[in-house]
């Protein structure tokens, strides 16, 4: 690996770790990725991404070819670098509380390795962790295993990550902000120096604070975004009861108020993904343990869970009964351009459809292999959108894939048994579908089978 005054190691080559590693290497900073998964490490060493993320494969290939990125299962690799980022997973425990076992083990392994290192080393917690974790959990483990006190020779920072799947590389290269929660000035200066090197002097807004505040920034961001989605889904459900009203118009208008903002106001089947539900549960659990029940976030989660029932109700209203009806589910991934199905709303909807006796056939351009690992033969799978809707009694749009936008009203009319469509992602223009049995989240109708009358934004 090429040496630089800034060389880094990253422990945990999952989504965040790998994208972070690739972007550091792309900026000429020597990077060592460390993971306990031997197969994953071998794949990365060949410059192949073990997960789907636009641009990641190309970046890894270039980084490996330029000898700026290496991967290993050996934690002593960290001693060849100045800074180690901890990016291991922090899943939910049974009660929703955060499970820190991977973080604790990674810190132990890192601490053992660093014991043999001479010179200053900075440890950065990038995994999403509840406030207090770096100070109360990581710090004592590190001190114990390195036999060094956090201070002049050993630095510790929290540095939460805000990247989104599907745009992770771009988000990492052009973040809105960098948040550094430092245990002391030396740690803060070291990490700021690394950021300056990374952003070549054009540093994004930088917030330097204590580790606890930095961790709460991460949870507050995800809690706010999730709440914004549950808010617009609530408005969508109200709009849907009111003939002629379209939540899209309402969202556009309220979004023009700078205090509200236009982003994350897309009504749909409810949020999914590996973060929002997990992080809200961890935050609720953490807060309750400290004696405060954050009812707002409970409502955010409950609203999200119930949104799947709304979608199934819409299908049921169109069909009368779902028993023995063939329902085509278009889209399985939690959002477009990913094969990730974690907490995807499609699974909540499929579960309810099956409970009501529907026969489900699903299509997704990327996520079918992952879906099969969970659902196996409980549902049928199709290779393309048209064969999915063939002979179906109802089609439910669950992910906003471009491939699905290409389906025309005539496709639904000619392929389906009856053209009943539930557009849970609002990918179609209701005007185009006015002759079909088209219902959509947040679209108020005169009657479910009649023509649409929609207020429009000029
Ligand atoms: C989310 C946050 O957006 C990132 O900032 C954060 O770093 C990340 O979690 C994390 O904690 O690791 P991500 O889960 O990749 O990122 O996906 P989002 O783009 O935020 O979408 C989450 C869900 O909300 C998706 O199911 C999406 O379809 C849904 N969504 C999003 C809506 O239903 N409406 C919207 O307007 C926006």
- Residue-wise pLDDT tens digits, 296-320: 999 999 999 999 999 999 999 999 9
pLDDT for 445: 81
Dist CA 445 CA 398 (whole Å): 20
The residue-averaged pLDDT of 415-442 equals 96
Non-local CB neighbours of 59 within 8 Å, separated by 6+ positions: 22, 23, 25, 26, 169
Cα separations in angstroms, 284 against 230, 242, 288? 16, 34, 6
Instruction: State the average pLDDT over residues 349-375.
Output: 97
For residue 130, pLDDT over 70 is answered with: yes
Strand 178-182 and strand 154-158: pairing? antiparallel
What per-residue confidence (pLDDT) applies to 180?
A: 98
Residue of 272, 224, 283 whose CA lies nearest to 98 = 283
Distance CA 64, CA 70 (A): 7
Q: What is the DSSP string of 46-70?
A: TT--SS--TTHHHHHHHHHHTT-EE
For atom 37 of ligand 1, the residue with the nearest CA is: 264
For the CA of 168, the nearest atom of ligand 1: 15
Whether the predicted pLDDT of 122 surpasses 60: yes
Q: Which CB contacts under 8 angstroms, 24+ apart, belong to 175-178?
A: 175/204, 176/204, 176/205, 177/204, 177/205, 177/206, 177/207, 178/203, 178/204, 178/205, 178/206, 178/207
CA distance 138 to 208: 19
Residues 6+ apart with CB under 8 A from 81: 7, 8, 9, 30, 32
Q: What is the pLDDT of residue 200?
A: 85
% of the chain residues with pLDDT over 70 = 96
| Integer angstrom CA distances of residue 328 from 84, 89, 332, 356 | 47, 34, 11, 15
Q: Using CA atoms, how far apart are residues 39 and 145, in angstroms rounded to an integer?
A: 28
Instruction: Please give the pLDDT value at position 457.
Output: 46
Residue 358 in tokens: 């529907």
Pocket of ligand 1 (CB under 6 A): 128, 161-165, 222, 225, 229, 264-266, 268, 271-273, 275-276, 334-335
**Per-residue pLDDT at 452 exceeds 90:** no
Of 51, 126, 275, the one to substitute when testing ligand 1's pocket (max ligand atoms within 8 A of C-beta) is 275
Measured from the CA of 272, which atom of ligand 1 is nearest?
26
Select from 373, 365, 6, 410 the least CA-distant residue to 193.
6
- Closest-CA residue, ligand 1 atom 18, reads 164
pLDDT exceeds 60 at position 324: yes
pLDDT in the model for residue 404 = 97
Cα(74) to ligand 1 centroid in Å equals 33
Calpha distance 191→82 (Å, rounded): 10
| Ligand 1 atom 17 nearest Cα | 164
Ligand 1 atom with the smallest distance to the CA of 233 is 33
- What's the pTM? 0.94
Over residues 200-257, the pLDDT tens digits come to: 878 999 999 999 999 999 999 999 999 999 999 999 999 999 999 999 999 999 999 9
Q: Is the pLDDT of residue 325 over 80?
A: yes
DSSP, collapsed to helix, strand or coil, labels residue 228 as helix
Query: Has residue 37 got a pLDDT over 90?
Result: yes
CB atoms within 10 A of CB 91: 13
């Amino acid at each position: 690996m090429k040496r630089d005054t800034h060389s880094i190691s990253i422990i945990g080559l999952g989504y965040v770790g790998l994208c972070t590693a690739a972007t550091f290497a792309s900026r000429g900073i020597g990077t060592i990725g460390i993971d306990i998964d031997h197969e994953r490490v071998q794949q990365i060493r060949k410059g192949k991404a073990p997960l789907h993320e636009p641009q990641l494969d190309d970046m890894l290939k270039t980084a490996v070819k330029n000898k700026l990125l290496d991967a290993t299962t050996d934690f002593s690799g960290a001693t060849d670098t100045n800074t180690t980022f901890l990016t291991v997973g922090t899943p939910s425990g049974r009660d929703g509380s955060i499970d820190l076992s991977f973080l604790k083990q990674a810190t132990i392994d890192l601490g053992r390795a660093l014991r043999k290192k001479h010179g200053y080393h900075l440890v950065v917690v990038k995994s999403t962790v509840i406030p207090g974790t770096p100070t109360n959990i990581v710090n004592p483990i590190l001190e114990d295993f390195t036999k060094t006190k956090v201070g002049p020779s050993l630095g510790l920072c929290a540095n939460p990550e805000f990247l989104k799947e599907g745009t992770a590389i771009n988000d990492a290269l052009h973040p809105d902000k960098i948040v550094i929660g430092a245990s002391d000035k030396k740690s803060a200066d070291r990490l700021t120096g690394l950021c300056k090197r990374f952003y070549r002097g054009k540093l994004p807004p930088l917030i330097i604070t204590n580790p606890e505040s930095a961790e709460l920034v991460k949870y507050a961001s995800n809690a706010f975004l999730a709440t914004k989605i549950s808010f617009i889904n609530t408005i969508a459900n109200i709009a849907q009861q009111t003939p002629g009203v379209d939540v899209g118009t309402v969202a556009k208008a309220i979004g023009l108020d700078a205090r509200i903002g236009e982003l994350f106001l897309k009504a749909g089947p409810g949020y999914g993904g590996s973060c929002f539900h997990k992080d809200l549960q961890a935050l609720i659990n953490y807060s309750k343990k400290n004696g405060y029940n954050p009812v707002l976030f409970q409502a955010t989660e409950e609203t999200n869970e119930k949104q799947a029932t709304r979608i199934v109700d819409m299908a049921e209203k169109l069909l009368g009964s779902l028993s023995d009806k063939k329902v085509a589910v278009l889209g399985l991934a939690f959002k477009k351009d990913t094969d990730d199905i974690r907490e995807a709303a499609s699974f909540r909807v499929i579960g309810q459809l099956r409970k009501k006796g529907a026969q489900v056939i699903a299509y997704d351009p990327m996520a079918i292999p992952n879906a099969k690992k969970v659902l196996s033969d409980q549902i049928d799978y199709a290779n393309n959108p048209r064969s999915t809707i063939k002979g179906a009694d109802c089609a439910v749009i669950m992910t906003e894939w471009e491939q699905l936008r290409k389906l025309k009203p005539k496709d639904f009319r000619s392929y389906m048994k009856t053209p009943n469509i539930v557009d849970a992602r609002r990918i179609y223009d209701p005007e185009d579908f006015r002759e079909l049995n088209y219902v959509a989240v947040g679209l108020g109708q005169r009657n479910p089978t009649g023509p649409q009358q929609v207020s429009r934004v000029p």
